[in-house]
Structure 1
Amino acid sequence: MSRRTSSLVITAALAATALAGCTSNSPSGDASGDHAKLSVSSDAKTCDVSSKEAPSGNVVFNVTNKGSQVTEFYLLGEDGLRIVGEVENIAPGLTRDLVVKATPGKYFTACKPGMVGQGIRSAFTVTDSGADLEPSGDDKVLAQNASTGYASYVKDQTEQLLTKTGSFVSLYKAGKDDQARALYADARRHWERVEPVAESFGDLDPKMDLREADLEPKQKWTGWHRIEKDLWPPKTGYTRLTPAQRATVADQLLTDTRTLYNRTRTTTFTADQIANGSKELLGEVATGKVTGEEETWSHTDLWDFQANVDGARVGFENLRPIVQRKDKTLDTSIATKFTALQKLLDQHKKGDGFVLYTELTPAQVKELASGVNALSEPLSKLTSTVTL
């Protein structure tokens, strides 16, 4: 989960490098005139959108961070929970685009200075333009194939997640800590591969994947990282959970996982959702895994790193026929940089997994961050290429 105020364990210069690759989701060419483009200005106190409404169809939010903190921008559903689209980790002074295919209805826009809290929200309306939002011609078939393929992938990953989470929480509740620790990273990889899907539901991600550093005052801490700390406790100043407390947090995680599983049985995905999900997963790598912030206690960040890359690659591969038809140069660039990043990650494999994050040298962390940065630049163009 990437909603955090960064206290990076690597240098500020490296953090800037990791974020720099996520500075654009702009169309690679001039606007074609078939989409609405709105400007968004974000600072510590405001989230000014140039218009409170837009016609249905492709909508581009051009977000500029004029504040002093890293910010995020969201388009939320009418319930204020469902995430329609998001663009994260917009450093001060940078501009990034969020591209979504929006249907008529009521929404909210939100900026999150510091990437915490509910954000600065405003009502937003998408009017009915009368336009057919379905792809046409060859794109329609390719988009349908991408949706079918990605939906099958999500179903498979959430099924494996539910199975392994059930085993994990049973071991944890039974006090079989060594076995639970051995299963932790393996089970979580299925979550990390499809995390943007869970985030799209709004209510599940905070309950399942919130880090302690991101807790707000009086917020209840549940989920994976609550159990992680109990399995890898600090040497001082921490009291282990009682068996009853363990059962409560474990049962909640399994219940939430089952909810995610049930919801994804019938979930469908559009091309822009798949593309944005791929970019979000790489953003997760840049702000959590390559910095060692995600797995504070277990240090299994590289397992998560690999899973995020897996999910991003699968999203791209499902969309690749569309990209190849529209922009062969971009297709080659993304594919080549995925391969290069995987080679860097492979250097740190150990048995069926990876070395702990704490075993990496600063030079190795910097090398991984550079690989993420190199892939982020072409991948940032994926959504606009497949939708505009």
Structure 2
Amino acid sequence: MNRYIALWLVIFSFGLLGGCSGGEGASDDQIANTFALQLPTGLEVDDVEIQVSENIGSEVEPQYRARSKVTLSYTEDFYQEARVRPVLSKPVVRKVAEEGDTVTGTLITSSFLRGESWDVRIDKKDFPPIYGLAESQYGVDGFVLEGSDEHNNLLASHEEEQAKAAAARAKKQAEEAAALREKIAHLRSNLTGIWAAKQPALHNNAVWSSRNGEQLGIQLEIGEGENTAGTGVGILYDYNNPSDEITVPIAFSINRDGEAATIIFNEPTQHKSLQFSVNPRYKWKFTTDGMLQYNASGNKWSLSLEKDGEALQSRLTQVASFKEKQKIYEELISKHKAFIAKGNLSNLNLKEMSYAHYFVTGEVDGPVYGSDLYQGESDVSSAVVHSGVLKAGQSGVVKISRYSERVAFSGTLKNGVTSEGYRYKRTPYKIELVEGLSAK
């Protein structure tokens, strides 16, 4: 019986020490297989020589740490991309290793017993650097060798394409420049003429008017020429009374994109009755569709202008009519040596027992006191209509006399004007026609 027990012990001991995959950790083949999984395509493990192996674990849980000399061999040629200019359609490479070349280095590994086999872990590797990629990694016809005929042909083709592209760009730039010149010339030609407002000015998208109800119109006059910058004339006027105008010199310049012109009123100018002013620092945008706009800090002005059209003709007709009337008025005033009467009778500064000739246009909205004889606070323009000397809207020269005797004043309705009485006696005024113009 003791012989059987001794034999069993021998067999058991052999199983512990020799039945595992090596009594001193992983074999060179196991290390080679583990390391091969980490290698790039084109490299393989050619040889592993375990130089030192030491159990850093225990008898129960062994863990071997080993240093091995490892030789790798190239199974393909390796290529590295060359840093060349220009960048071509294919990578330009140089060969850095040939099939069959070898690289030798050192591996530090740890192996752990798992059942009846060893798990291997790569702790450290010390090898010369591996440059480039295996030829198969570039694909079929995936690169050209630096300095080869194919490389030179690609360079020549690239230069030819670059030259064609440069020529195409130059042609496109020339065409764009010519188109822009034509666009600017067309804009310059279209700007030539006299532009007048078709509608009153808008301020922040609403029709603007002064405190007295006047509305703004603008006229621009730009002469013929080819220069992209020049001068002209601007006119600010009351849209409903175009003869109430102020002329301002302007400067214009066509924008580089040929889309619009910039208009500047060269002198600081205020239209008093319109309560509107312009200044050289205000830059107005003007386009060939007739839109004149100024926009800054939420203060937007816009006018729709028309060139040489009905708006201009209507304005010129009204201005011409006004000037013709003014000429007639001036002749009438000169003929009778008349003064221009405005406001109340007392504003005429007539002394008692005196008279003078005055140019007046009849109106119906002012206050009137008296009948035939008028108190001094009566409006001159309405008093001439009440007296029957002139009609509403009719102009003429009248003789206004002031008496010295104080009288009372009673109110009446005459000629569409209602006068009021006045309780205190005052020196009266009398109105007589000298020469009236026909009412239109």
When the two structures are superposed, what TM-score results if normalisation uses the length of structure 2?
A: 0.15
* More contact order relative to length (CA 8 Å, sep ≥ 6): 1
The structure in which a higher percent of residues are strand is 2
**TM-score, length-normalised on structure 1?**
0.17
More helix by share: 1
